[in-house]
Amino acid sequence: KAGVTQTPRYLIKTRGQQVTLSCSPISGHRSVSWYQQTPGQGLQFLFEYFSETQRNKGNFPGRFSGRQFSNSRSEMNVSTLELGDSALYLCASRGVPGELFFGEGSRLTVL
């Protein structure tokens, strides 16, 4: 059974640019959530999607957005990148009874 797949794994951007990250959940899982991990702030919840609808949102500015497609794949977008957006972005796929399975992450570096 394939796990959670995130692409790209590594990317480098400059301030002011935007970035789109992709996540394919485990087959059959309809919930996808996103987390940001930084050395300073730790692991923080960004948002969660279920059946193409955003159900929960963390305390991040509007520059952070996401969406989910009918096949449950999800994308998150960060616009007008700042240095502080450098982080590991983790996607999680939810199974039953509520266990979360995380992908390998996308490591974003903003220069």
Partner 1 sequence: ELKVEQNPLFLSMQEGKNYTIYCNYSTTSDRLYWYRQDPGKSLESLFVLLSNGAVKQEGRLMASLDTKARLSTLHITAAVHDLSATYFCAVDWAGTASKLTFGTGTRLQVTL
Q: CA distances (Å), 59 to each of 3, 45, 56, 103, 110, in order?
A: 28, 8, 10, 22, 21
Interface residue with partner 1 among 1, 2, 42, 70 (CB under 8 A) is 42
19-24 β-sheet, strand order: 5-7, 19-24, 74-78, 64-68
| Binding of residue 63 to partner 1 (CB under 8 A) | no
| Binding of residue 68 to partner 1 (CB under 8 A) | no
Count of chain residues binding partner 1 (CB under 8 A): 23
Task: Provide the binding-site residues for partner 1, judged by CB under 8 A.
Answer: 31, 33, 35, 42-45, 48, 50, 55-56, 58, 90, 94, 97-105
